[in-house]
Amino acid sequence: GQQLNQSPQSMFIQEGEDVSMNCTSSSIFNTWLWYKQDPGEGPVLLIALYKAGELTSNGRLTAQFGITRKDSFLNISASIPSDVGIYFCAGQLPGANNLFFGTGTRLTVIP
Amino acid sequence: DAGVTQSPTHLIKTRGQQVTLRCSPISGHKSVSWYQQVLGQGPQFIFQYYEKEERGRGNFPDRFSARQFPNYSSELNVNALLLGDSALYLCASSQFLGGNTGELFFGEGSRLTVL
């Protein structure tokens, strides 16, 4: 299957700090998505991106669809304790219906 | 509106047994997908169904099967369970099959432990 490399693997930050994480692929995707998963729950969609170069915001979250279509970035500004969780990138190949997920970035916010 | 609902939430089986997991999609959604999430990893695609037909299959053995019913609910069956089948099984629904199908809405999952 497709390999999505997500980094960093984990992050420990102070409340109020900004966070950046990224995801790269060896293949071109036509859709990039970012999900957040809390313990014991399913992933929740945060942001969906459909065009190369697209920059989309959802509150304090901003994500970008890389120009090469092989990468995506997620930024969280002014982190708060409820941002704690695992963030997954996911990509969809052209013509495919399923998603390939990254390995996740575990975010810990220290109050 | 209710989200994606899955049952059971937790179950324990022994090697060689069979398991059936159930999923009800969001009302109005016609596509259901199943993903397996092993501890510490991202979800991996197993199946996708749309309008009761299989529209995609991931790299899983034939021990895994699924179906979708006229009301768009779905079942995932796993036969001859192995220890490595222990995982969180996630069901996701989406409104359409084509176009922007990346917007999947996940249930809370069924956590299967195989002893």
What are A46-81's pLDDT values in tens digits?
999 999 999 999 999 999 999 999 999 999 999 999
pLDDT digits (tens, 9 = 90+) for A34-50: 999 998 899 999 999 99
Residue A40: its pLDDT value, please?
85
A99 touches chain B (CB under 8 A): yes
Residues A87 and A74: beta-carbon distance below 8 Å: yes
Q: What percent of chain B has pLDDT over 90?
A: 82
Q: How high is the mean pLDDT of chain B?
A: 93
Apex CA B19: angle with CA B16 and CA B22, to 5°? 170
pLDDT digits (tens, 9 = 90+) for B18-33: 999 999 999 989 999 9
In this predicted structure, the answer to whether residue A1 has a pLDDT above a threshold of 70 is no
Q: How high is the mean pLDDT of chain A?
A: 94
**Contact (CB<8Å) B97/A50:** no
pLDDT band for position B95 (cuts 50, 70, 90): confident
A100 touches chain B (CB under 8 A): yes
pLDDT band for position B101 (cuts 50, 70, 90): low
Tokens read off for B31: 């596509």
Nearest to A93 by CA among B53, B42, B45: B45
**DSSP 8-state secondary structure symbol assigned to residue A44:** E
In this predicted structure, the answer to whether residue B1 has a pLDDT above a threshold of 70 is no
CA dist A64 and A38 (Å) reads 23
- Bridge-based pairing state of the strands B87-94 and A19-25: unpaired
Contacts with A96 from chain B: Cβ below 8 Å: 56
Lowest mean pLDDT among A3-12, A87-96, B44-53, B89-98: B89-98
Long-range contacts of residues B80-86, Cβ cutoff 8 Å, at least 24 apart: B80/B16, B80/B18, B81/B13, B81/B14, B81/B15, B81/B16, B81/B17, B81/B18, B81/B19, B81/B114, B82/B15, B82/B114, B83/B15, B83/B114, B83/B115, B84/B114, B85/B112, B85/B114, B86/B38, B86/B112, B86/B113, B86/B114
In this predicted structure, the answer to whether residue B97 has a pLDDT above a threshold of 70 is no
Q: How many residues does chain A have?
A: 111
pLDDT digits (tens, 9 = 90+) for B75-85: 999 999 999 99
Contacts with A104 from chain B: Cβ below 8 Å: 41-42
CA dist B43 and A103 (Å) reads 9
Q: Which of A43, A44, A99 sits opposite B102 (nearest CB)?
A: A99
In what helix (H) or strand (E) does residue A65 lie, and over which residues does it extend?
A: strand A61-65
Contacts with A45 from chain B: Cβ below 8 Å: 103-105
